[in-house]
């Protein structure tokens, strides 16, 4: 497919080699306005905003990815395969299972379990374990240490269903030591693997399934600065 695509109006060269990808396009706009200089908007198709700018002299892009693997699957596939992007760092929110986690804590997803049928599109002869690129993961942990931001590294689950009809869904994943749930990382990790590219998911805990803790919509959109700083520092080391 040539560019622009039906979902992205950018031309070749408009997008940096490393892209930060929140689900919310308004979070992408916030990051661009708050942390980047010399910012140019490369996409506004369907209001899925994308920007390229400079962070500490390095070119970095940030673009919304939407909710769920079908959405993030489209945008990450195009970035990896049509726009020559090498690294995508998802920066999103998650609901926590672990009672050691609290709202605003940062989790780096080493692996992403899933209940999704997304993997079936690759016609593999068995089960696939979606994992982060170790190089990006290591750089993110190092960046968090330098910033003195505590992080927890571990396994998450990427679910296709927000309103599950299975009352045991969360409990069963929690019993396996899964830290929390979100909806995109597994799809991102699979697209990166298939394209021979690199991906990482950094999450901020926005609510908890077993503790009375929950962030507001505004706090989700504007309050994840620790995660953003870690991702930006990782991006310029990639």
Active site residues: 207
State the SS3 of 45-60: HHHCCEEEEEECCEEE
72: which 2 tokens? 């993030």
ω into residue 160 within 30 of 0, thus cis? no
Residues ≥6 apart with Cβ < 8 Å to 49: 25, 26, 28, 29, 41, 43, 63, 64
The beta-strand segments (E) located in 26-173 are 37-43, 50-55, 58-63, 87-96, 106-114, 151-158
| β-bridge partners, 106 | 151, 204
Query: Rounded to an integer, what is the distance from CA 88 to the centroid of its chain?
Result: 8
The span from the CA of 86 to the CA of 107, in Å, is 22
The span from the CA of 151 to the CA of 17, in Å, is 25
The span from the CA of 73 to the CA of 40, in Å, is 24
30: which 2 tokens? 């916030």
Question: Under DSSP, is residue 113 helix (H, G, I), strand (E, B) or coil?
Answer: strand
């Amino acid at each position: 497919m040539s560019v622009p695509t039906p979902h992205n109006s950018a031309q070749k060269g408009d997008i940096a080699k490393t892209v930060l990808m929140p689900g919310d396009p308004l979070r992408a706009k916030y990051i661009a306005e708050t942390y980047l200089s010399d910012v140019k908007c490369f996409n506004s198709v369907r209001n899925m905003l994308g920007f390229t700018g400079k962070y500490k002299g390095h070119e970095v892009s940030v673009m919304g990815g939407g909710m769920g693997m079908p959405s993030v699957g489209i945008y990450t596939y195009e970035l990896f395969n049509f726009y020559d992007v090498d690294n995508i760092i998802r920066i999103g929110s998650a609901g926590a299972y672990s009672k050691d986690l609290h709202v605003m804590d940062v989790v780096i997803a080493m692996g992403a379990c899933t209940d999704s049928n997304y993997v079936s599109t690759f016609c593999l002869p068995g089960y696939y374990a979606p994992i982060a690129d170790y190089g990006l993961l290591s750089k993110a942990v190092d960046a968090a240490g330098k910033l003195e931001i505590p992080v927890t590294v571990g396994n998450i689950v990427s679910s296709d269903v927000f309103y599950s009809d299975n009352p045991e869904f969360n409990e069963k994943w929690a019993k396996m030591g899964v830290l929390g749930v979100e909806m995109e990382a597994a799809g991102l990790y699979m697209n990166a693997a298939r394209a021979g590219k690199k991906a990482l998911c950094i999450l901020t805990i926005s609510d908890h399934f077993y503790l009375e803790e929950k962030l507001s919509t505004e706090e989700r959109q504007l309050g994840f600065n620790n995660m953003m700083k870690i991702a930006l520092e990782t991006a310029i080391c990639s």
